[in-house]
Structure 1
Amino acid sequence: MRTLFLLLPFAVLLGGVTACEARTPQVVRQEVSVRLDPPQHELSGSSSVRFAAGAGSVAFRLSSGARVSEVTLAGRPVPYRFTGGLLVAELPGTGAAQTLTIVYRARFNDPVSASPGAGEDPSYGVSGTITSQGTFLGDSAHWYPVPEEVPAQRQVAVTAPAGIEAVSFGRRVSRETRDGVTRSVWQESHPVGALSLCAGPYRVEDRTVDGIELHSYLYPENAGLSGRYLDAAARYLRFYSALFGPYPFEKFAVVENFFQTGYGFPSFTLLGGAVLRLPFIVDTSFPHEIAHSWWGNAISIAPDSGNWCEGLVTYLADYYLKERRSAAEARDYREQLLIDYASLVSPEQDFPLTRFESRSDPASRAIGYGKGAFVFHMVRRRIGDEAFFSALRQVVGSRLYQSASWRDFADAFSKSSGKDQRAFLEQWLTRPGGPRLRLAGVTNRREKGDWSVSGSVAQQGAGYRLEVPVRLETQAGPLETRVALAGEGAPFRLSAAAAPTRVVLDPDAEVFRILSREEIPATVNSVKGSRELLGVRTANCRAGAQGFEDLLASLSQQDARVVSEEELAKGEFADRDLIFCGVPGERRLLPHWPDGVQVEREGFSVAGERYSGPDAALFLVLPRPGTAGRVTALYLPLSEAAGAQYGMKITHYGKYAELVFAGGGNRQKARLAVPESAAAVVLNPLNQAGL
């Protein structure tokens, strides 16, 4: 199927789904009622579904482990079959609407790890679980009979032991605790997607802001964070409503999960307790999930058109909020997207954005989130802020509570800018990778008292049509031009009265491109993206064999070969990236330490602070001497317990090269300077310079 997909023309790829399938029966209303039994990991439920006149055979998705006790129509049994998670019932053909009722029980007990790995699966493999700690029932658990199409109206009633509060989509119609049970009812005005449900011994706080009902459902130990998150919810809902249009749901709730997740559902976000307590989350991951209210929830992704949603939300939350704070922060973020892509995505792993569905590994995340965000940035730079945000409002106005494809965005950008943007988008969406750019033939000449600097921007591989900024730095300040590139190269010339010092290609990282190996600094992501990583376990490795393997798995390197220091000395591994667990006996095997770092076998010092007790760990990534583009990493936990506590955190610091953990968390972090040898040419003002 994917091979055929790539052969379709762009107009079809961006056009969404064709109407080739039989029309499903119209679902007028669905009412779901469930009772949770946490000690038994079970729920008992019933669902009444009203179909429009003319419905015959109707189908539902329901957990394959469910036990269906009855399927009735007006109290009378209806023939049905239930196999492999698909329930099909036959309704008598009539000219009137009919209500089908399904009664069932189901058990959900997916294992939840107390210390989950740091992979790319945001659910950690949990689709449905009901426990005394808490309940999480995702849409893929099919915890209720899910009809073939979303109902026009939907209501959910949840009953649980007293004190167990539940949250689902829609407005909270009622909530009470009586006779040993807590019951709540949720109703949607505009149902979207399949339902998810969460429950736990929450402390609940409510408020109303601008007509939107806000709720917090937090565990007692985190209930004190409620005000902070509700204040932030009000702030970001106002901010994004001004950009896109009115908030599309009846309520917004911040809900705590009993394991570490970061989900944005229609009308609530679900964050793990440890995540909630991180001080920066309220202004990073939290607005990301709020932006999903419009993009991904109120407007879903059209099937088989490519997931545009994660790239757009990354751009509008993770990136755009930084841009509003600081131009320097914004530039660093764009540059980091390019570094991550070059570090994590190999040609064998690459694919077009029209094939991105969801993240499954670091490479797919760098493509769908990072490259996707960069595409939206380039469109915005091309058409301007007014046209860009006007186009987003157009998409909201035309596709709200429906699905959208890349085609819908291309059309909206074209309409708002007054110029067809489809050809520009096509090259970024339907091809893997991106352009490889460099400066070529740069010369510096004195002409009639002024300086004339000329050269070209060269492009390797398939020709992209784009404008590349080129900056000339002089002793009196910078000058800039934009080079229109369509084929293998395009010339530029800049004149300056003051002596030139340097020419820089795309100095502010405004264009998506594949960085050369020489432009990529050593980072944690260099280890994650390595295709030839060798693990080296030294006699000084205090993580233990299993601890080192766990670290490699968290870095998506579970298949990396691991050797002893003695085996390394005997083998031919000059072309490998290396990661040492512990300090090797031969110091020559390691690069020179950065300034301010000292490492011994029994401890280490960073920035003047000494670490020698068992509660500390160091992780360094440095260029491997004598091997272009290769890195050497040092993992130095000072005890097995420190390795267990801190090792799995390292993967979350992908852009850093120097990490220190102690006292329960990260104490220090630093990045290496970004090399720019392939993107800059230093000029000699007294003589002609060339490249």
Structure 2
Amino acid sequence: MRLAPILCLSLAAPIAFASPGPRIVEHDVQVRLDPYRSRLEATDRFTIVGYQQSLLRFLLNEDLEIASLRIEGRDLRWREEAFDRAHWVDLPAGEGGAFEGVREVLVNLPAGGEDSLDLVIAYAGTVLYSLRGPDQSYDRSFETTSGLVEERGVYLAGSTFWVPTVPGDLFSFRLEARVPPGWESVSQGELVGRFEEGGYRIARWRAADPMEEAYCVAGPYVFREADFKNIKIQTFLYESNDAAELHERYVGAARTFLDRYGREIGPYPFPKFALVENFWQTGFGMPSFTLLGTQVIRLPFIPGTSFGHEILHNWWGNGVYVDWEKGNWCEGLTAYGADYAYKTDQGPREGAAYRRGELQKYRNFVSGSEDFPLVEFRS
């Protein structure tokens, strides 16, 4: 995940690097979350293609114990090995503990001529990584974590390796998340079902477009929803005296930005956009939702500035993906279409002042010995 200052909230960067061998193209995950024991229990029916090789190698969190791995009801044999970068093509160093607590799982695949195979894996365990600052230096940086399930909330991402992962694969997925009563869960894509059953609040999400990672965020939220041009605008906010007012304020801002960028660029690429409140201070953007800390969300300038920046990332960065080996072009493009554009809306002097300020930041940060051509830029 990439981090950014509060005034310029960043997309959550994917862990996505091409590796040879069978590819995972679809997940159908059912997960039960117990925040009071920091535990998850999951079953994932995942589809692989391109298995000319008889061995499937994927990554899974080392604290998640595999109970079974089957194909068409038959048990498969697997073995586990320590994570080894040499097994993955073009795998970078990673940041923020990107490969913290992960191990490799090797599965012997049956011989056959099928175009694809569906495997079913069941696993469970504890996920509770501490919050930490980013590896790189930023003004007003955010804490992050590889993943956590605890009483204040749940945060599962690609860096958690909570579903079988082949780095570099793009996949669609369905997710059924079971959380305690009074809680809600959110992920990418479309909310296709939400109900209570067996003492749990259940939400079903469908991400039909190829994704770089699967998120599941949960907490004691109040869920609200509005409509705008066939787009669902959702808020997941903690119960508070100002929650209803925050919902209205951010729904109004979302309508403004969705309309603006829909006219300037093209149709919004997802069925919903959600504002999700977080118990620690964050400014993260994921495909079709943003995760903002309780203090960040109440800053008076956020709805008209950084919130629009996050919405624009759904076109650049979370819609059209970044090849991180060739540089983070999307952050500059998003800043141009959001931060700089909002200043130029105020007038040419304000736009020029913003540009001058950014150039001054660059001069203060980069000395002559550290300067380099733009073509060599990497995020």
TM-score by length of 2: 0.82
The Cα of 1:352 is off from its aligned counterpart by: 4.3
The Cα of 1:323 is off from its aligned counterpart by: 0.7
Tell me the equivalent position of 1:34. 31
Q: Which residue identity is paired with 1:335?
A: R
Q: Indicate conservation of the 8 Å contact 1:122/1:262, yes or no.
A: no
Tell me the equivalent position of 2:301. 280
- 91, 97, 112: which one pairs with 1:94? 112
Q: Which structure is richer in relative contact order (CA contacts within 8 A, separation 6 or more)?
A: 2
Q: Secondary structure at the match of 2:63?
A: coil
Query: Is structure 2 residue 183 aligned with structure 1 residue 183?
Result: no
Q: Secondary structure at the match of 1:92?
A: coil
Q: Indicate conservation of the 8 Å contact 1:62/1:146, yes or no.
A: yes
Q: Higher helix fraction: Structure 1 or Structure 2?
A: 1
Tell me the equivalent position of 1:63. 61
Q: Which residue identity is paired with 1:93?
A: A
Q: Indicate conservation of the 8 Å contact 2:175/2:206, yes or no.
A: yes
Q: How is 1:79-478 mapped onto 2 (pairs within 5 angstroms)?
A: 79-83=77-81, 84=83, 85-96=103-114, 97-112=116-131, 119=138, 123-148=142-167, 150=169, 153-221=172-240, 222-224=242-244, 225-358=246-379
The Cα of 1:179 is off from its aligned counterpart by: 3.0
Q: Which residue identity is paired with 1:63?
A: N
| Unmatched tracts of structure 2, length 5 or more | 1-17, 84-102
Q: How far apart, CA to CA, are the structure 1 residues paired with 2:214 and 2:122?
A: 18
Q: How far apart, CA to CA, are the structure 2 residues paired with 1:317 and 1:95?
A: 50
Deviation digits for residues 274-317 of structure 1 (CA, Å, limit 9, x no counterpart): 00000100011101111100111111112421111111111111
| Cα 1:148–1:121 shift into 2, 3 Å | farther
Q: Which residue identity is paired with 1:86?
A: E
Query: Is structure 2 residue 95 aligned with structure 1 residue 77?
Result: no
Deviation digits for residues 21-71 of structure 1 (CA, Å, limit 9, x no counterpart): 775435453111111111111211111112247453222221132222221
Q: How far apart, CA to CA, are the structure 2 residues paired with 1:227 and 1:305?
A: 40
| Cα 1:353–1:36 shift into 2, 3 Å | farther
Q: Indicate conservation of the 8 Å contact 1:166/1:197, yes or no.
A: yes
| Cα 1:95–1:307 shift into 2, 3 Å | same
% identity of equivalent residues: 35
Deviation digits for residues 169-195 of structure 1 (CA, Å, limit 9, x no counterpart): 110010112332111010012122111
Q: Which residue identity is paired with 2:270?
A: F
Q: Indicate conservation of the 8 Å contact 2:132/2:144, yes or no.
A: no
Tell me the equivalent position of 1:4. none
Q: Secondary structure at the match of 2:36?
A: helix
Larger radius of gyration: 1
Tell me the equivalent position of 1:603. none
The Cα of 1:148 is off from its aligned counterpart by: 4.4
Q: Indicate conservation of the 8 Å contact 1:62/1:142, yes or no.
A: yes
| Cα 1:160–1:355 shift into 2, 3 Å | farther
Q: How far apart, CA to CA, are the structure 2 residues paired with 1:63 and 1:120?
A: 31
Q: How far apart, CA to CA, are the structure 2 residues paired with 1:284 and 1:335?
A: 18
Q: Which residue identity is paired with 1:281?
A: I
Q: Which residue identity is paired with 1:98?
A: L
Q: How far apart, CA to CA, are the structure 1 residues paired with 2:265 and 2:33?
A: 38
Deviation digits for residues 80-117 of structure 1 (CA, Å, limit 9, x no counterpart): 22233222212112122321111112322222489xxx
Q: Indicate conservation of the 8 Å contact 2:128/2:148, yes or no.
A: yes
Q: Which residue identity is paired with 2:253?
A: A
Deviation digits for residues 541-567 of structure 1 (CA, Å, limit 9, x no counterpart): xxxxxxxxxxxxxxxxxxxxxxxxxxx
Q: How far apart, CA to CA, are the structure 1 residues paired with 2:121 and 2:142?
A: 29
| Cα 1:348–1:102 shift into 2, 3 Å | farther
Q: Secondary structure at the match of 2:195?
A: strand
Q: Indicate conservation of the 8 Å contact 2:19/2:166, yes or no.
A: no
The Cα of 1:139 is off from its aligned counterpart by: 1.9
Q: Which residue identity is paired with 2:299?
A: L
Q: Secondary structure at the match of 2:343?
A: helix
Q: How far apart, CA to CA, are the structure 2 residues paired with 1:310 and 1:80?
A: 41
Deviation digits for residues 632-691 of structure 1 (CA, Å, limit 9, x no counterpart): xxxxxxxxxxxxxxxxxxxxxxxxxxxxxxxxxxxxxxxxxxxxxxxxxxxxxxxxxxxx
Q: How far apart, CA to CA, are the structure 2 residues paired with 1:188 and 1:311?
A: 27
Q: How far apart, CA to CA, are the structure 1 residues paired with 2:143 and 2:350?
A: 31
Q: How far apart, CA to CA, are the structure 2 residues paired with 1:28 and 1:339?
A: 45
Q: Indicate conservation of the 8 Å contact 1:214/1:253, yes or no.
A: yes
TM-score by length of 1: 0.46
Q: Which residue identity is paired with 2:112?
A: T
Q: How far apart, CA to CA, are the structure 2 residues paired with 1:91 and 1:267?
A: 35
Q: How far apart, CA to CA, are the structure 2 residues paired with 1:332 and 1:195?
A: 39
Q: How far apart, CA to CA, are the structure 1 residues paired with 2:364 and 2:150?
A: 40
Q: Indicate conservation of the 8 Å contact 1:202/1:220, yes or no.
A: yes
Q: How far apart, CA to CA, are the structure 2 residues paired with 1:347 and 1:131?
A: 47
Q: How far apart, CA to CA, are the structure 2 residues paired with 1:142 and 1:22?
A: 16
Q: Which residue identity is paired with 2:243?
A: A
| Cα 1:103–1:320 shift into 2, 3 Å | same
Q: How far apart, CA to CA, are the structure 2 residues paired with 1:152 and 1:44?
A: 21
| Cα 1:167–1:355 shift into 2, 3 Å | farther
Q: Which residue identity is paired with 1:284?
A: T
Deviation digits for residues 526-582 of structure 1 (CA, Å, limit 9, x no counterpart): xxxxxxxxxxxxxxxxxxxxxxxxxxxxxxxxxxxxxxxxxxxxxxxxxxxxxxxxx
Q: Indicate conservation of the 8 Å contact 1:53/1:98, yes or no.
A: no
After TM superposition, the structure 1 stretch with the greater mean CA deviation from structure 2, 22-31 or 306-315, is 22-31
Deviation digits for residues 418-467 of structure 1 (CA, Å, limit 9, x no counterpart): xxxxxxxxxxxxxxxxxxxxxxxxxxxxxxxxxxxxxxxxxxxxxxxxxx
Report runs of 4+ in structure 1 exceeding 6 Å deviation: none
The Cα of 1:203 is off from its aligned counterpart by: 0.7
Q: How far apart, CA to CA, are the structure 1 residues paired with 2:211 and 2:229?
A: 23
| Unmatched tracts of structure 1, length 5 or more | 1-20, 359-691
| Cα 1:274–1:318 shift into 2, 3 Å | same
Q: How far apart, CA to CA, are the structure 2 residues paired with 1:327 and 1:338?
A: 17
| Cα 1:95–1:309 shift into 2, 3 Å | same
Q: Which residue identity is paired with 2:121?
A: I
| Cα 1:87–1:347 shift into 2, 3 Å | farther
Q: Secondary structure at the match of 1:312?
A: helix
Q: How far apart, CA to CA, are the structure 2 residues paired with 1:147 and 1:218?
A: 33
Provide the alpha-carbon RMSD of the alignment: 2.3
